[in-house]
Amino acid sequence: MLACKIGENKMKNAIIMAGGKGTRMHSELPKVLHKILEVPMLGMVINSLKKSGTERIVCVVGYKHEEVETAMAGKCEFAVQEPQLGTGHAVMQAQQLANEEGITLVASGDTPCVKPETYQKLYDLIGDADMAVLTAIPEDNGAYGRVIRNADGTVEKIVEFKDANDAEKAVREINTGIYAFNNQSLFEGLKHLNNNNAQNEYYLTDLVEILKKLGKKVVAIPCDDWQEVQGINGNVELAHAAKYMQERINTEWMKKGVTIYDPNTTYIGPNVTFGTDVIIHPNTYLYGDVTVEDYAEILPGTWLEDTNVSKAETVGPFVRRKG
């Protein structure tokens, strides 16, 4: 049984891999600064981690790292990966966490839709294991790495699709690239990581076998919703993620009592909050830190950004208000 919660006194840390250029974005802007609902992808990851109770966050940056550091200033710590030699090499750069105790999550800056509850689930369910792999079962598991379990449910290995045999390819459970580690086990394992492969890179997935050889325990924790852990590699996926987040946020607020006349044309950012009996008309945009108090009404064509709407106030139509 995995449901053994970590102690209250254990530090919650996170390392976010955020160094890629994002070649398939066909943009000079660093990949993790592309926006969903007016929030950079990296900002969404940081926000979710903080909401999950993460105390220290280190972003490992690379391409145009000064630009990323400026955009995220004050929101996390930074480590620079130059040159970029794989996922394991990225995590090695976060040496400011090397002496910490507790649990460290490894997340990706291009996976912006992960819920705080999912990160919290990793913190809670890693239990006495040294590594936990967040897994998912997509409708089409395609060329994703497969998670191969032992009979007792622990992880035997992660096998890349190109290296998998027919039986392994038939496994539906895939690796999302998000992990939890006992922090000391993580940095112990990193010392044994090597780049003896065709790409001469250091792969974080190799820690499964390394930690097992060191007598450590590796478990798999399933994610409930495949869509929230999908990574963004291009503009088509960015648009799909934006639509997914729009629907998810709107649905959550409607369940809490907000009246949204047309969810398809209403855009609400992740840091917006509403009071009781709020009404939102079509073609409205609420971004940044917006607070809408009780009984307020947002009329069509309204754009609100980093502002407050007072109790029973009517805003719009066709108003743009910032600050």
Residue 260 φ then ψ, to 5°: -115, 110
Question: What is the predicted pLDDT for the residue at 1?
Answer: 35
Residue 50 belongs to what domain range? Answer: 12-229
Is 178 contained in some domain? yes
Q: Which among 33, 75, 39 has a CA at the least distance from the CA of 286?
A: 39
Same domain assignment for residues 101 and 164 = yes
Residues of the chain where predicted confidence (pLDDT) is lower than 50: 1-7
Residues 187 and 317 placed together within one structural domain of the fold: no
Q: In the listed set 180, 214, 229, which residue is the last one of a domain according to the structure?
A: 229
Q: What is the pLDDT of residues 78-92, one digit of tens each?
A: 999 999 999 999 999
Which of 229, 264, 293 is the endpoint of a domain?
229
94 lies in the same domain as 180? yes
Q: Into how many domains does the chain fold? A: 2
Same domain? 285 vs 203: no
Q: Tell whether 240 is covered by a domain.
A: no
Same domain, 44 and 193: yes
Q: Assess whether 133 and 225 both reside in one domain.
A: yes
Judgement on whether residues 220 and 274 belong to the same structural domain of the protein? no
Instruction: Evaluate whether residue 245 is within a structural domain.
Output: no
pLDDT of residue 9: 62
User: Domain boundary residue among 194, 229, 264?
Assistant: 229
Instruction: Classify burial at 287, counting beta carbons within 10 Å of its beta carbon; exposed 0-12, middle 13-18, buried 19 or more.
Output: buried
Is the same domain home to 308 and 191?
A: no
Indicate which CATH number applies to the domain containing 54. 3.90.550.10
Model pTM? 0.92
Nearest to 229 by CA among 169, 287, 144: 144
38 and 184 belong to one structural domain:
yes
Whole-number Å distance between alpha carbons of 79 and 58: 7
Q: Is position 260 within any domain?
A: yes
| Residues pairing with 321 in the sheet | 304
Q: Same structural domain for residues 132 and 263?
A: no
> What pLDDT, in 10s, does the model give residues 269-322?
999 999 999 999 999 999 999 999 999 999 999 999 999 999 999 999 999 999
Only one residue has tokens 């992960």, namely: 114
Task: Determine, yes or no, domain membership for 1.
Answer: no
Task: Give the residue among 111, 124, 101, 122 at the shortest CA–CA distance from 223.
Answer: 122
Let me know whether 113 and 191 are in one domain: yes
- The pLDDT score that the predictor gives to residue 139 is 84
Same domain for 169 and 24, yes or no, is: yes
pLDDT at 7: 43
Structural contact between residues 285 and 242, judged by C-beta atoms closer than 8 angstroms: no
pLDDT on residue 3? 40
